[in-house]
Structure 1
Amino acid sequence: MLKSVLAALFVAVVSTGAVAQEFQFEAPPLFDNCGDPSLAKAKTEGVTLGFSPSPPYSSLDPATKQATGLDVELVEAALKWAGVTKFKYEVMPFGQLIPALLAKRIDVVAANIHVTPDRLKAVSFTGPAWWYGPAIVVAKGNPAGITSFDTLKGKKIGAIAGSAADEYLRKIGVAVTAFQTDAEEFSAISTGRVDAILEDDVKVIEFMKANAASPIEIVQNVAIPDELIFKFGYGYARYALRKEDCSLRSAFTQGLAEVRGNGQASSILKKYGLTNRNMFFFPL
């Protein structure tokens, strides 16, 4: 009898493991009386998500017109919790996303974007989604001798135009060579057109995995200035909306908290090779 019960339990466990995990939520959306119509409109008409092509964060299949990537999945999961189920996509260089948002070509900057002083003047942000850190990338052997943020001064440093890296480097007095795309930026450091680039560690690691022969490396053991984390853009990855779209932003923010709380965000991160370490910027 015991053997039969154990066998049945084993089959049940195996069967359960074979089925895609379904995520449940404790709390329902409660935003009906927030005062502005942005959430109601999004639930009825859907939203247009804007992003730049930047694996593993986001990309668009040219054949199917379907968007994929870590940020795309997180954004859609959070918005679906809030009752938004229709999505369109606009792809453009990162530096054009906020102007497109303000011009109402898109409704959400769905490429992960960080809080910076300049951006706060123009847009509002969701609550935290996930986290990654900055990386200084140099040619193999580090011929420019870069060991800290201070040693970037006086050298040719690349960054994506309009990025948190671009804004911070200019603030500390670094002359920045700005690039519109990841491909241009990585080509510049690989061919020696710049001495270093400041980029997201997740993006750099993804590039190095896909291009093992590329002659670049990450500078190790660099102290990260506090203001880079807490003021200039390498705090939590978030998403941006128009300031007037308060009810949509509130619902979106709670949706992010709900998908972090029920394990769905963790599952998405792991799907793209990350871990629960990327849920928080402080050590777990």
Structure 2
Amino acid sequence: MLKIITGVAAGSVLGFSALPASAEGLLQKARTQGITVGIANEIPYGFQNANGSVEGIAPSVAKKVLNEMGITKIQWKVLPFGQLIPAVKAGRIDLASASQNVLPERCKQVAFSRVNSSYGEGLLVPKGNPKNIHSYMDIKNNPQLKLGIVTGADQLNFAQGMNIPQSQIVLIRANSDAIPALQSHRIDAYAATGLTVYELAKKSPMVQRAEPFTQPKYHGKSTRSYGAFSMRKSDTAFLKAFNQELAKVQASPFWANTLEHYGLSKEDVQAARMQKTSALCSGGR
């Protein structure tokens, strides 16, 4: 059973208690009464379709995991991304399913599940990747190569942080200019987030994303992010059961197929598989 509500106060309208579900034991309550799950309505991380259904990287996996836990009643609540953690802490939702990046400051407020996804940067290159470009370093090491970047984008900071000369950087107006710039040989690669590169690659058979791809480093740390589900720290039994079932789901083809369906690369999937939440909460990357 899927229900979708919006707004902070909607839970009380439908009879959900404003008190944290952990007071009753979230695991047992979720199995008997259902669970409230928050999303931020951001494609492809977790979003509501025009027909009212909820999907995305996190919700698709969450539905599978919760079903395996014996939880079949899911009430979805759409909230601004910044309100997800406050809503978890206040008991307005039981679980946030939005591929939230696991950061030490967030770990102080909520408990995160096993890492479920990973997302980072990418490069768009001509079909066949004729210049064999697989990283920002490949650009830096070949003075003949030109890297396209949207004016003002974070990727400019990454390129400059890796000491790619300004003479090799070509600033373009928007993502929509990337494919024409590649086709005209004005640039040899275009830098953007991995998911942006994925979406652009679908628009033309003349381009592709560079695979494999090595994530750039900024201030000595990888720019890669790691997403997980968040819940209240007091819901320890629920977290343990959720992690157990999530591990089983991640061992099946369903998990990798789901992540790749929404645009994550094989490298993204492997990165998510290898990273530990405890390390991320301690500041490791």
| 1:80-132: CA deviation from partner (whole Å, max 9, x where unpaired) | 11111110111122111111111211111100112212101111100121322
Q: Report the Cα offset of residue 222 of structure 1.
A: 6.3
| 1:134-184: CA deviation from partner (whole Å, max 9, x where unpaired) | 4699xx9437596543847xxxxxxxxxxxxxxxxxxxxxxxxxxxxxxxx
Q: 1:54 aligns with which of 21, 35, 42?
A: 42
Distance change >3 Å, CA 264–CA 282, structure 1 → 2: closer
Partner Cα distance (2:36, 2:43) in 1:
20
Equivalent pair of 1:101/1:108 in contact (CA under 8 Å): yes
Give the residue type in structure 1 aligned to 2:243. T
**Which residue in the other structure is 1:266 paired with?**
256
Partner Cα distance (1:271, 1:223) in 2:
24
Partner Cα distance (1:41, 1:254) in 2:
18
3-state SS of 1:54 partner: coil
Q: Which runs of 5+ in 1 are unaligned?
A: 1-34, 153-187, 192-197
Indicate whether 1:281 and 2:271 are aligned.
yes
| 1:5-34: CA deviation from partner (whole Å, max 9, x where unpaired) | xxxxxxxxxxxxxxxxxxxxxxxxxxxxxx
Partner Cα distance (1:143, 1:66) in 2:
34
Distance change >3 Å, CA 276–CA 201, structure 1 → 2: closer
| 1:63-96: CA deviation from partner (whole Å, max 9, x where unpaired) | 4x32122221111111211111110111122111
Equivalent pair of 1:50/1:110 in contact (CA under 8 Å): yes
Indicate whether 1:205 and 2:197 are aligned.
yes
Q: Percent identity?
A: 27
Give the residue type in structure 1 aligned to 2:256. S
**Which residue in the other structure is 1:115 paired with?**
102
3-state SS of 1:73 partner: helix
Partner Cα distance (1:52, 1:112) in 2:
10
Indicate whether 1:104 and 2:94 are aligned.
no
| 1:207-248: CA deviation from partner (whole Å, max 9, x where unpaired) | 536778xxxx99x9762248755xxx8453211111011111
**Which residue in the other structure is 1:166 paired with?**
none
Equivalent pair of 2:115/2:273 in contact (CA under 8 Å): no
Partner Cα distance (2:245, 2:219) in 1:
28
Equivalent pair of 1:114/1:234 in contact (CA under 8 Å): no
Partner Cα distance (1:68, 1:74) in 2:
9
Q: 1:78 aligns with which of 60, 65, 75?
A: 65
Equivalent runs, 1:1-284 vs 2, <5 Å = 37-63=25-51, 65-134=52-121, 141-142=148-149, 147-149=156-158, 151=160, 200-202=193-195, 204-205=196-197, 207-208=199-200, 223-225=216-218, 228-229=221-222, 234-281=224-271
Superposition CA RMSD, Å:
3.9
Distance change >3 Å, CA 254–CA 143, structure 1 → 2: closer
TM-score (norm 2): 0.57
Equivalent pair of 1:60/1:66 in contact (CA under 8 Å): yes
Q: Which has the higher strand share?
A: 2
TM-score (norm 1): 0.57
Equivalent pair of 2:150/2:174 in contact (CA under 8 Å): no
Equivalent pair of 1:148/1:223 in contact (CA under 8 Å): no
